[in-house]
């Protein structure tokens, strides 16, 4: 387990900022105003990035590298070409700090959870003034986060689409826990 390099940190923060905006600062801020307050940090195990409390990360350094499978919340992994891919396991973090959101009608939940994109007919509501090509968190109508993706069009353009027009390109959904269970947590 090691801290991220400067280049890895820049790549990770750019990806996270696409979803969180200015609240990215809240992810790394100390948990209280006390002088020795605990805070969250990012650590790499093999090629996967974890979001973990600093006190837990310090304790995990006493575990042998080969014996440490994971610690904290897995946000995603770096590819061999140093691109960062967010995993569905990052959904609780993204949902808590999301800048743009889309709510899916009940008839659109299953197609999304089976790996499909979100079409206009399935959109219940959407954050106003959502630009195109930004990270967006997908919710059911009861405010349960079920995945995330990238907006295909701005919210103004989406209103003018026909019912089969794609509004959000899927990047990850909760169905991946079942579809990719063999590889999701494996190294």
| Whole-angstrom distance, CA of residue 97 vs CA of residue 27 | 8
Distances (CA, A) of 34 to 31, 39, 51, 56, 146: 9, 11, 21, 18, 35
Is 90's pLDDT higher than 60? yes
pLDDT of residue 70: 86
pLDDT of residue 185: 65
Angle at 99 between CA 22 and CA 159, to 5 degrees: 140
Distances (CA, A) of 17 to 44, 45, 94: 19, 22, 10
pLDDT of residue 173: 94
For the chain, the helix, strand and coil percentages under 3-state DSSP, each to the nearest 5? 30, 30, 40
pLDDT in tens, 118-142: 999 999 999 999 999 999 999 999 9
Confidence class for position 69, pLDDT limits 50, 70, 90: confident
Q: What is the pTM of this model?
A: 0.89
Domains and CATH numbers, the chain: 2-93 (3.10.450.220), 100-178 (2.30.130.10)
Question: Mean pLDDT across the stretch 46-66?
Answer: 91
Question: Mean pLDDT across the stretch 41-69?
Answer: 90
Question: Mean pLDDT across the stretch 66-73?
Answer: 88
pLDDT in tens, 150-182: 999 999 999 999 999 999 999 999 988 888 777
Confidence class for position 183, pLDDT limits 50, 70, 90: confident
pLDDT of residue 186: 63
């Amino acid at each position: 387990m090691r801290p991220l390099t400067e280049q890895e940190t820049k790549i990770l923060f750019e990806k996270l900022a696409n979803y969180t905006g200015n609240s990215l600062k809240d992810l790394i801020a100390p948990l209280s105003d006390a002088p020795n307050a605990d805070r969250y940090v990012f650590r790499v195990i093999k090629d996967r990035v974890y979001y973990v409390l600093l006190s837990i990360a310090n304790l995990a350094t006493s575990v042998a590298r080969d014996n440490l499978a994971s610690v904290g919340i897995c946000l995603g992994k770096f590819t061999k070409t140093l691109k960062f891919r967010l995993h569905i396991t990052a959904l609780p973090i993204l949902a808590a700090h999301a800048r743009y959101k889309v709510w899916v009608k009940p008839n659109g939940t299953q197609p999304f959870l089976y790996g499909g994109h979100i079409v206009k007919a399935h959109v219940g509501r959407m954050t106003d003034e959502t630009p195109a090509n930004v990270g967006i968190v997908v919710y059911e109508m009861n405010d349960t986060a079920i995945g995330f993706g990238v907006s295909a069009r701005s919210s103004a353009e989406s209103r003018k689409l026909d019912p089969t027009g794609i509004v959000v390109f899927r990047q990850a959904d909760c169905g991946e826990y079942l579809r990719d269970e063999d590889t999701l947590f494996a190294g």
